[in-house]
Structure 1
Amino acid sequence: MPSAAPVLVQPLRLAGPGDRRLVTGPLTALHGWSSTRTPEGAIRFTSPCRTAALSMDGDGGSPVAWTVHGYTRPGAEPLWRASFSSGTPAEITAAFTTVLAAGLHSRHYDYPPGTPASVLAARGWVPDRESRRGFHDQLSPDGWALYRHRLGHQPHEEEVAGLVPATWTMLAGTPRFPSWHAEFTAGVPFPPLVSAALAFSDPGPVLRPTGEVPTRHRAFVTVLRDSSGGRPPGPPRLAEASAAHLPLSRPAPTARRR
């Protein structure tokens, strides 16, 4: 099979980085975000109200990393930070940024309540008995992803600057050697965080070129030849959070390798 042949891969979190246009397209085409290039070479997307900004680090054909900052008002110091390392599936980043952009005008007050932890629990994620002290982890049914909640208080400025562990972290792969990770500090609006959790726990499948599926994941994903010629699905809607209270049928957990 040619390396670029499209295949369906599941679960989403192990499928590879995907198409970055899933992240930037809705921001510019639907929500009017502007783009500029920073002196450091990153591309920066800014909301019309200038209370949120997305930076894309990396260019060309290499996987990119994303950082989102939220502000109380234009020109203020960052109120919160969300970051997605290179290798994060674009659908997960887009699930966060699209809901963030759509709800800025109302400060997300018109979105249904919910928490990432409850969404994951409804999909079969369980507390990890091997959580590090000071953290509460939820383990995916297949054992190859963690949602981590840091316990206790830390200085806000240091957390936003990335000097201390973030309040919430998503990790795909083993905790010590994750393939990618996403971090969310205190103050991140819950609706986009819940949307990212829905995508993080999405069993898929999603469309990928064969060569894009990470080599280290190929033993832990299901790869199907695509015959539909369809496009990859967009990020999950936050409205699905209410349906997430019904548990999904998932394969039996396997022993996690560290």
Structure 2
Amino acid sequence: MPASTLLFVHPLYLAGPGDPFTVTFPLDTAPGWSRTETADVLRYTSPCRRATVTHEPATGRGSWTVHGYHAPDGEPLWAARFGTGTPAEITAAFTTPLIDGLRSNHRDYLEGGPRHRPGSPTSLLAERGWWPNPNSPKGFHDQIAPDGRAYYRHRVGYQPPQAELEGQVPASWSMIAGSPHRPLWQADFTIGVPFYLLSHAAIALAVHPARRLRTEIPRANRPHVTTGRAAPAFFSLSAGEPPAPASAPDSTGAVGPRRR
């Protein structure tokens, strides 16, 4: 198969980082979001100024960082950090519903709202075969992907929120590909992150395929992924709701377009 052939790759978490345009396109086209860019920082700010999405590749703290704020231009309330190598589809699955959710101050996605979906990230992953790790490290509860190559981690116990925001203590939730000791990539979410955003990212982690050239798939991961030229039955290019389990193939998922 030619290296220029665009493939659908599953699982997403082994597909490589992908195209940043998947993240930037919904932000660039969202009404009212502003974009500022320097040599080192790309930052998007919501119209209400209660959320920012920042790309700082030189800092080493993560490819993308999303902050929510108590009030416009106020102190950070929560943070989500998508480390280097995180598939762009997972970042976009978080930021795309954030764009929509801020229009109603998240109410549309809360219980009783028209876009609310029941279930926690943990239960949504369990429905898709992710199993609890009986050997989770002390202070953590891990769920493991069916192939054993990705983890969803919940930190047990209280830590000061400010310490979490400053990275002084482990985040409340993490998504990890590879081994927790030698991750291929890691995304961290502090306490206060709206659960619907975490759920969208978790379903992308578990269900979405990626669109990649074969050469874009990390060489070491190629034996552990499945590829095809046709889209899987559960996959849609529509933005919005995350897909339901594979038994409901008419669902849609938040995946941005690809630029070449």
TM, length-normalised to structure 1: 0.84
Q: 1:96 to 1:65 in 2, by over 3 A?
A: same
Aligned residues: 236
Q: 2:92 and 2:206 mapped to 1: Cα distance?
A: 14
Q: 2:23 and 2:238 mapped to 1: Cα distance?
A: 9
Within 5 Å, give how 1:84-163 maps onto structure 2: 84-111=82-109, 112=116, 113-163=118-168
Q: 1:110 and 1:227 mapped to 2: Cα distance?
A: 34
2:241 corresponding residue in structure 1:
238
One-letter identity of the residue aligned with 1:107: N
Q: By how many angstroms is 1:28 displaced?
A: 2.1
Q: 1:132 to 1:184 in 2, by over 3 A?
A: same
Instruction: Please tell me whether the aligned partners of residues 65 and 79 of structure 2 are also in contact (alpha carbons under 8 angstroms).
Output: yes
Q: 1:27-69, CA deviations, whole angstroms, 9 ceiling, x for partnerless residues?
A: 220343111125x72101110110000111239xxxx810000
CA RMSD of aligned residues (A): 2.4
1:256 corresponding residue in structure 2:
none
Q: 1:166 and 1:35 mapped to 2: Cα distance?
A: 28
Q: 2:4 and 2:32 mapped to 1: Cα distance?
A: 33
1:50 corresponding residue in structure 2:
49
Within 5 Å, give how 1:169-208 maps onto structure 2: 169-202=174-207, 204=209, 206-208=210-212
Instruction: Please tell me whether the aligned partners of residues 18 and 212 of structure 2 are also in contact (alpha carbons under 8 angstroms).
Output: yes
Unaligned runs of 5+ residues in structure 1 are 249-258
Match of 1:222 among 223, 226, 245: 226
Q: 1:211 and 1:69 mapped to 2: Cα distance?
A: 33
Instruction: Please tell me whether the aligned partners of residues 16 and 213 of structure 1 are also in contact (alpha carbons under 8 angstroms).
Output: yes
Q: 1:245 to 1:156 in 2, by over 3 A?
A: farther
Q: 1:94 to 1:235 in 2, by over 3 A?
A: farther
TM, length-normalised to structure 2: 0.83
- Secondary structure at the residue paired with 1:216? helix
Q: 2:199 and 2:224 mapped to 1: Cα distance?
A: 25
Q: By how many angstroms is 1:247 displaced?
A: 9.5
One-letter identity of the residue aligned with 2:223: A
